[in-house]
A and B are shown apart, each in its own frame.
Chain A
Amino acid sequence: MLSNNVYIIGAGETKYGELWDKSLRNLAVEAGLKAIENAGIYSKDIDAIYGANGLAGTINEQENIGALIADFSGLSNEGIPSIRVEASTASGGAALREAYLSIKSGEYNVVVVGGVEKMTDIHGSDIIEKMSSILDREWEAFYGATPAAMAAIIARKYMHDFNVEKEALAMVPVNDHLNASKNLNAQYHNKLTLKQAMDAIPVAEPLNLMDCSPVSDGAAAVVLASEEYMKRNKKEGIKIIGSAIAQDYLSVGSRDSIYTLKSTKLAAEKAFRRANVKRDDISFVELHDSFSIYALLELEDLGFVEKGKAKELVYDEIKTGGRIPVNPSGGLKAKGDPYGAVGVGQVVEAYLQLNEKAGERQIKNAKYALLHNMAGTGTSSVIHILEGY
């Protein structure tokens, strides 16, 4: 009998950034086609589509994203099922997991997972209001909280309790920008000095502009296939060996510890157990660092270092070649942060890395990738562990 392993057989993404001439549907279709072509499959092979999107209803006033994606990918005649998965900024990871489960269940053999976000059509204080809907609208955002403000509140308490200097946070964007300078699809290609990262204009103190991911457009897609499909087509591929998702309270204030990402901790435990690998086996991680502070908390709650000790990793160990390389793609700060696309884009990076096709930013002997996609202030975390072949 065949195992029910799930493989990644193709990946594609758009450039991330301010893509003025691209619409929501343009982006989705572009990434989807790239992934399908890359996988070498045809529309008749596709059993289902899972489309990840965070805020199209709010930003683009477009719901019914599943139908939109299928229609403009030219798949409506075939009636291929296509649904949207929404888990805020973790929509991408959540869609990947739903697709993974659909294959695990034996129902499907080939599933396309897409993620898309078109954010730059609105700007300034309007986009801040819309992005703040990922918080508790009635009891956080209503009172003036923004995603940056909540991250900053967490950061201040963390720095206060563990005696961490702001500089440790600034190392995160420095690392992201260095890596993104080698990624053509990244939103930013400029390197960032520590001084530049420290001196940027304040957004929500203690966080400044360089601690915060940008507003981005972008899309990413991957193709998942069953063991059966792989055998039938005599293919090899990247294997998803661990997949987990966990939740936390919607409001930061409701949590026992504001700097413990419980959803990350719980999902990490499950994913590592399922994958049967150790922290030391991980070749690199893609972290959801929408705000620099989150990278530090995530390194801790994923179990790479004790709580309060991430400062020991961020100066050297997160670099390519370090103990635990972080965000070879450039991460959310420099590759970009198109909400619904992020989690799928992380898979695209892992797909390149594990296939040794990441070019200049290739991590040597990459074997295991850990992808961490998080919603809002840590309300959901989705973790996938991938194995190269």
Chain B
Amino acid sequence: MSGIVSYGSYIPVYRIKPEEIARIWGDEPEKMRDNLFIFSKSVPSPDEDVATISVEAARNALSRCDINPQDIGAIYVGSESHPYAVKPTGTIVAASIGMPLQYFAADYEFACKAGTAGMQNVKAMVDSNYIKYGIAIGADTSQGAPGDALEYTASAGGTAVIIGKEKVIVEINHTLSVSTDTPDFWRREGEPYPKHGERFTGEPGYFKHIIAAGKAMMEKMDTKPSDYDYAVFHQPNGKFPMRAAKMLGFTEEQYKTGLLTPYIGNTYSGSTMTGLSAILDEAKPGDKILAVSFGSGAGSDAFDMTVTDEMKKYKRDRAPTIKKMIEKIMYIDYGTYSKFRKIIITGDSVE
């Protein structure tokens, strides 16, 4: 059966604290921190974007396995902050990891679930023998308008997974999706920042789809929450995934490993996959994992997975773990953040 043969992530080193953002906008620092359950969010440096994050994640994935990049036949990069509106991120990544001339490629966008949609597509192509290996990446340098609640969480990071049939470390037993037309969060073409329906993003958006997909998966697989060792859900803030987990019947023990938002913020398309990456950093053969992403607009992708014996031989230590990326950080103030994120209007002396 097909599944994940390797994985790798990348999170920028810079962090800003919610207290620092609140200081600028006159919000109450402790309340913002506690309400969103977020201690810091990652910030890309000015020379980082979705292409650089994707390349680093893909290179980390490749360094953990011995796959010849020439055998990778597809690349799908999911993001809502691709560096170009027209010109693929995927080809930049492919060129940086030495993929051959013949490969399938497209950039995906489905708000925060474009990366997991890429995983589904790559799995289908592997299953149908179109390709030997394929790579799916979820990455974002997400935009949160200054002064908007999103600014506290919108962060940067990404994860790449290579899917194939040989030396599979995590079997993807099944995947399914639910989708509806829901205007909970959007960004129009050419606009710098997304808009959202505030509390409307909750029940009719996030919870409805996560719960529906999670339940559908357990029904299909005939499983119950206690059958899983780990669960990971899309994490727009620290609170939503905890509530979704409880609604579905999961315990803190099951979701805490994959819950990264409190430390890195919401990496959007990178969110669920990076949570999964943190789980794979410690998972043992036989462990069962449920992953459910969410993308506004809206939909959820669910994955039922089992860690294989191959994990014992897998060279996890050839690339940095999520834990290491969370520990090795540098805090910046709002001024530096503004400079990095190009919020400041500059003259000709700055590019």
Contact = CB atoms under 8 A, between A and B. Distances in A.
B349 interface: yes
A359 interface: no
Interface in B315-351: 348-350
A124 B351 CA distance: 13
A146 to B, nearest CB: 14
B38 to A, nearest CB: 34
Contacts of B349: 124-125
A124 B349 CA distance: 7
A125 B346 CA distance: 13
Interface string A126-161: 100000000000000000000000000000000000
A125 B348 CA distance: 9
Contacts, number: 4
Query: Is the interface on chain B under 10, 10 to 19, 20 to 34, or 35 or more residues?
Result: under 10
Contacts of A124: 349
A124 B350 CA distance: 10
Interface residues of A, number: 3
B1 to A, nearest CB: 46
A353 B30 CA distance: 74
B315 to A, nearest CB: 31
B348 to A, nearest CB: 8
A125 B351 CA distance: 10
A348 to B, nearest CB: 35
Contacts of B348: 126
B193 to A, nearest CB: 28
Contacts of B350: 125
A149 to B, nearest CB: 17
B299 to A, nearest CB: 42
A52 B128 CA distance: 68
Interface string A101-134: 0000000000000000000000011100000000
B143 to A, nearest CB: 26
A2 B350 CA distance: 61
B124 to A, nearest CB: 41
Interface string A38-67: 000000000000000000000000000000
Contacts of A125: 349-350
Nearest to A124: B349
B45 to A, nearest CB: 13
A125 B349 CA distance: 6
Nearest to B349: A125
B155 to A, nearest CB: 26
Nearest to B350: A125
B72 to A, nearest CB: 29
Interface in A70-125: 124-125
A246 to B, nearest CB: 38
A64 B7 CA distance: 58
Interface in A177-227: none
B48 to A, nearest CB: 15
Interface in B215-272: none
A122 to B, nearest CB: 11
Contacts of A126: 348
A177 to B, nearest CB: 28
A125 B347 CA distance: 11
A126 B351 CA distance: 11
B221 to A, nearest CB: 51
B351 to A, nearest CB: 9
A211 to B, nearest CB: 22
Nearest to B347: A124
A126 B350 CA distance: 10
A161 B349 CA distance: 36
Nearest to B47: A144
A70 to B, nearest CB: 36
A220 B177 CA distance: 77
In the A-B complex, the 4 residue pairs with the smallest Cβ-Cβ separation, listed nearest first, are A125-B349, A124-B349, A126-B348, A125-B350
4 contacts: A124-B349, A125-B349, A125-B350, A126-B348
Interface of B: 348-350
